[in-house]
Structure 1
Amino acid sequence: MALFNLMKHSIGTEKEAQEPPKQAIFVQQSSKAGLLVTNELGKALRDCKAKVDRISRDCRMKNRKFRDLEFDLEYDSRRCLHGLGGNNEIYLPSDVQRVTEIFDSPQFFVDGVSFAYPVGGDISNSWFVSALATVARKRGLIKRLCVARDEQVGVYGFIFFKDSAWVTVIIDDLLYTCIPKFEALSPLEKQLYHDNKQFYNTHARKGTKSLYFAKSATQGETWVPLIEKAYAKLYGSYAALVGGDASEAIEDLTGGVSTFIPTRDIFDTDRFWNEELLKVNIDRLFGCTYEALSGVRSGNWSSQVHGLVGNYSYSVVRAAEVNGKRFVVVRGPASGQTGWTGPWSDGSKEWTKEWAELLPEIGHVLGEDGQFVMEYKDFLNCWDTFDKTLLFDDSWVMSSQWLHVATRPLPAWTFGNVSFTFSLSQSTHAVIVLSQIDDRSFYEISGRSSWELDFVLFKAGKKQVVTESFPNQDYARSVNVEVDLEAGDYIVHVSGF
Structure 2
Amino acid sequence: MPLFNLFKGKPTVEKTTTSFLQERDHAGLLVTAELERALADCKAKVEHIVKECKAKNRKFRDHEFDLQNDRFRCLHGLASEERYNPSDVLRVTQIFDNPQFFVDGASSNDIVQGKIGDCWFVSALATTCPSPGLVEKFCVARDEKVGVYGFIFFRDNRWVDVVIDDLLYTSIPKFEELSCQEKQLYHNDKAFYNRSSRRGSATLYFARSSTDGETWVPLVEKAYAKLHGSYGALSRGWACEAVEDLTGGVACFIPTNDILDPDLFWTEELLKANHDRLFGVAFNCLDSSRSGEVAITVSGLMGGHAYSVLRAVECKGKRFVVIRNPLSHSGWTGPWSDGSKQWTPEWLEILPQLGHSFGDDGQFVMEYTDFLECWQEIDKTILFDSQWVMFSQWLHVTARSLLSAWTYGDVSFTITLPAATKAVIVLSQLNNRYFKPISGFLHWTFDFAVFKKGEKDIIAQSSASRVLARSINVELDLEAGSYVVHVRLDRFVYPPPAYLREGIHISNYRSLSRVLTERAKSQSIAMNFNTSSQAQNLPIPLDVLAGQDLSELERKALAAKVEVEKKVAEEKKVVEGEAGRKTENTTGREVVKNIAGQENEKMTEKTCEDKDEGRGRNQTDVDKTDAVSDDDDDETVNIQDMMSETDTIFLGLRVYTSKDAPAEICGQLRHEIELSAALACPNC
- Compute the TM-score of the two structures, normalised by the length of structure 1: 0.90
Conservation of the 8 A alpha-carbon contact between 2:399 and 2:489: no
Structure 1 residue 394 corresponds to structure 2 residue 386? yes
Structure 1 residue 51 corresponds to structure 2 residue 45? yes
For 1:195-274, list aligned pairs within 5 A.
195-274=188-267
Q: Which residue in 1 is equivalent to 2:552?
A: none
Conservation of the 8 A alpha-carbon contact between 1:2 and 1:405: no
Name the aligned partner's letter for residue 260 of structure 1: F
Aligned mate of 1:473, from 466, 469, 479:
466
Structure 1 residue 190 corresponds to structure 2 residue 183? yes
Q: Do the aligned partners of residues 363 and 202 (structure 1) sit closer, same or farther apart at CA in structure 2, a change above 3 Å counting?
A: closer
Q: Do the aligned partners of residues 485 and 368 (structure 1) sit closer, same or farther apart at CA in structure 2, a change above 3 Å counting?
A: farther
SS in 2 for 1:40: helix
Structure 1 residue 177 corresponds to structure 2 residue 170? yes
Give the deviation of 1:117 after TM superposition. 4.3
- Structure 2 CA distance, aligned partners of 1:307 and 1:159? 35
Conservation of the 8 A alpha-carbon contact between 2:397 and 2:410: no
Q: Deviations over 1:283-337 (max 9, x none)?
A: 1111111112211112223222222222221111221222222222222232244
Q: Which residue in 2 is equivalent to 1:369?
A: 361
Name the aligned partner's letter for residue 82 of structure 1: H
Q: Do the aligned partners of residues 194 and 358 (structure 1) sit closer, same or farther apart at CA in structure 2, a change above 3 Å counting?
A: closer
Conservation of the 8 A alpha-carbon contact between 1:6 and 1:400: no
Structure 1 residue 71 corresponds to structure 2 residue 65? yes
Q: Which residue in 2 is equivalent to 1:383?
A: 375
- Structure 2 CA distance, aligned partners of 1:378 and 1:274? 17
Conservation of the 8 A alpha-carbon contact between 2:299 and 2:332: yes
Q: Which residue in 1 is equivalent to 2:322?
A: 329
**RMSD over aligned Cα, in angstroms?**
2.1
Aligned mate of 1:85, from 79, 82, 85:
79
- More moved, 108-117 vs 363-372: 363-372
Name the aligned partner's letter for residue 44 of structure 1: A
- The size of the alignment, in residue pairs, is 470
- Compute the TM-score of the two structures, normalised by the length of structure 2: 0.66
- Structure 2 CA distance, aligned partners of 1:176 and 1:2? 49
For 1:56-455, list aligned pairs within 5 A.
56-85=50-79, 90-337=83-330, 339-367=331-359, 369-411=361-403, 414-455=407-448
Q: Deviations over 1:420-479 (max 9, x none)?
A: 111122221111000100111011111111110111000011100001101211111100
Which segments of 5 or more consecutive residues in structure 1 lack a partner in the other structure? 8-23, 27-35
Conservation of the 8 A alpha-carbon contact between 1:25 and 1:433: no
- Structure 2 CA distance, aligned partners of 1:362 and 1:142? 21
Q: Which residue in 2 is equivalent to 1:21?
A: none
Q: Which residue in 2 is equivalent to 1:20?
A: none
Conservation of the 8 A alpha-carbon contact between 1:25 and 1:430: no
- More moved, 183-192 vs 408-417: 408-417
SS in 2 for 1:480: strand
Give the deviation of 1:52 after TM superposition. 0.3
Conservation of the 8 A alpha-carbon contact between 1:179 and 1:204: yes
SS in 2 for 1:364: coil
Name the aligned partner's letter for residue 102 of structure 1: I
Q: Which residue in 2 is equivalent to 1:33?
A: none
Conservation of the 8 A alpha-carbon contact between 2:398 and 2:410: no
Name the aligned partner's letter for residue 393 of structure 1: D
Give the deviation of 1:2 after TM superposition. 9.8
Q: Which residue in 2 is equivalent to 1:16?
A: none
Give the deviation of 1:368 after TM superposition. 7.3
Give the deviation of 1:366 after TM superposition. 4.0
Q: Deviations over 1:59-115 (max 9, x none)?
A: 0010000000001111111111111127x6711111111010011111111111133
Conservation of the 8 A alpha-carbon contact between 2:282 and 2:306: yes
Conservation of the 8 A alpha-carbon contact between 1:117 and 1:334: no
Give the deviation of 1:38 after TM superposition. 4.4
Q: Which residue in 1 is equivalent to 2:620?
A: none
Give the deviation of 1:150 after TM superposition. 0.4
Q: Do the aligned partners of residues 365 and 178 (structure 1) sit closer, same or farther apart at CA in structure 2, a change above 3 Å counting?
A: closer
Structure 1 residue 484 corresponds to structure 2 residue 477? yes
Q: Do the aligned partners of residues 5 and 120 (structure 1) sit closer, same or farther apart at CA in structure 2, a change above 3 Å counting?
A: farther
Q: Do the aligned partners of residues 364 and 202 (structure 1) sit closer, same or farther apart at CA in structure 2, a change above 3 Å counting?
A: closer
Name the aligned partner's letter for residue 85 of structure 1: A
Q: Percent identity?
A: 61
Considering fraction of residues, name the structure with more helix: 2
SS in 2 for 1:53: helix
Q: Do the aligned partners of residues 221 and 427 (structure 1) sit closer, same or farther apart at CA in structure 2, a change above 3 Å counting?
A: same
Misfit runs of 4+, over 6 Å:
none
Name the aligned partner's letter for residue 175 of structure 2: F
Structure 1 residue 41 corresponds to structure 2 residue 35? yes
Name the aligned partner's letter for residue 177 of structure 1: T
Give the deviation of 1:378 after TM superposition. 1.1
Conservation of the 8 A alpha-carbon contact between 1:456 and 1:469: yes
Conservation of the 8 A alpha-carbon contact between 2:38 and 2:161: yes
Name the aligned partner's letter for residue 389 of structure 1: T
SS in 2 for 1:116: helix
Give the deviation of 1:370 after TM superposition. 2.2
- Structure 1 CA distance, aligned partners of 2:313 and 2:191? 53
The higher radius of gyration belongs to 2
SS in 1 for 2:31: coil
Q: Which residue in 1 is equivalent to 2:487?
A: 494
Give the deviation of 1:367 after TM superposition. 4.1
SS in 2 for 1:84: coil
